[in-house]
């Protein structure tokens, strides 16, 4: 079965079941200077070892998702460099279940604009992000350590329950 999912704007409330949002705060900066304002700390990422960074070039393609991965031991920072991207995510039901499959009923697809970022929560299912329109480059940062269920494998992808797929748009 294919599920149709609408693209959602990124807000802390909507993204809360999947992680944390980083965006320009509405409140006053914590420090300012000549021509600059700074807000800190606007978000936190739990880490006990150094972060490794990965860069993804994501090209225009069919907006269909059939599998996701997850990192049960680590949070993941993700932000686009240049263009809008769409990040599909699905809820983690049981972080201790090595046989869990992503539930298509919990999938949301968030638009992430340049200037915004997310911290994907531990165990939250996610596919590679998609280009919203034109090809885009995005960065992710994650602790450089093995995950509990071995998601450092070259092929960590897990199909949705019942072999379902998601089409977003
Ligand atoms: N988010 C993404 O595209 N990739 C990472 O989750 C990864 O572990 O490769």
Beta carbons of 134 and 83 less than 8 angstroms apart: yes
Q: How much is the mean pLDDT over the chain? A: 96
What mean pLDDT is predicted for residues 27-52? Answer: 97
Q: What residue numbers bound the domain in which 95 lies?
A: 2-168
Choose which residue among 140, 150, 154, 156 to substitute to test ligand 1 binding: the one with the highest number of ligand atoms within 8 A of its C-beta. Answer: 140
- What CATH number has the domain bearing residue 28? 2.60.120.480
Tens digits of residue pLDDT in 73-86:
999 999 999 999 99
Choose which residue among 81, 90, 117, 126 to substitute to test ligand 1 binding: the one with the highest number of ligand atoms within 8 A of its C-beta. Answer: 126
ipTM reported for the complex surpasses 0.90: yes
β-bridge partners, 110: 8, 87
β-bridge partners, 51: 143
Structurally, the chain folds into a number of domains equal to 1
| 3-state DSSP assignment of residue 161 | helix
Q: Give the sheet arrangement for strand 64-65, strand by strand.
A: 2-5, 165-168, 64-65
Give distance in angstroms: CA of 3 to centre of ligand 1.
23
The pLDDT of residue 17 is 98
Tens digits of residue pLDDT in 105-138:
999 999 999 999 999 999 999 999 999 999 999 9
The pLDDT of residue 150 is 72
- pLDDT over 70 at 40, yes or no: yes
The pLDDT of residue 151 is 63
Sort 16 into a burial class: Cβ within 10 Å, 0-12 / 13-18 / 19+: exposed
- pLDDT over 90 at 155, yes or no: no
- pLDDT over 90 at 153, yes or no: no
- Assessment of whether the complete model's pTM goes beyond 0.90: yes
Cβ of 76 closer than 6 Å to ligand 1, yes or no, is yes
Q: How far apart are CA 148 and CA 100, in angstroms?
A: 13
Nearest residue CA, atom 9 of ligand 1? 54
The pLDDT of residue 99 is 93
Beta carbons of 88 and 68 less than 8 angstroms apart: yes
For residue 150, what are the CA distances in angstroms to 17, 24, 107, 111?
A: 23, 35, 23, 29
Q: Give the sheet arrangement for strand 76-80, strand by strand.
A: 19-22, 117-120, 76-80, 136-143, 51-58
């Amino acid at each position: 079965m294919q599920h149709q999912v609408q693209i959602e704007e990124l807000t802390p409330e909507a993204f809360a079941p999947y992680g944390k949002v980083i965006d320009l705060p509405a409140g006053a900066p914590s420090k300012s200077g000549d021509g600059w304002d700074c807000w800190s700390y606007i978000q936190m990422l739990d880490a006990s070892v150094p972060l490794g960074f990965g860069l993804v070039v994501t090209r225009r393609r069919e907006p269909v998702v059939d599998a996701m991965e997850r990192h049960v031991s680590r949070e993941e920072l993700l932000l686009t460099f240049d263009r809008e991207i769409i990040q599909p995510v699905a809820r983690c039901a049981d972080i201790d279940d090595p046989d869990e499959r992503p539930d298509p009923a919990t999938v949301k697809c968030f638009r992430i604009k340049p200037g915004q970022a997310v911290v994907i929560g531990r165990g939250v299912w996610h596919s590679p992000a998609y280009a919203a329109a034109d090809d885009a480059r995005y960065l992710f940062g994650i602790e450089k350590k093995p995950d509990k269920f071995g998601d450092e494998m070259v092929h960590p992808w897990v199909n949705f329950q019942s072999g379902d797929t998601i089409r977003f748009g």
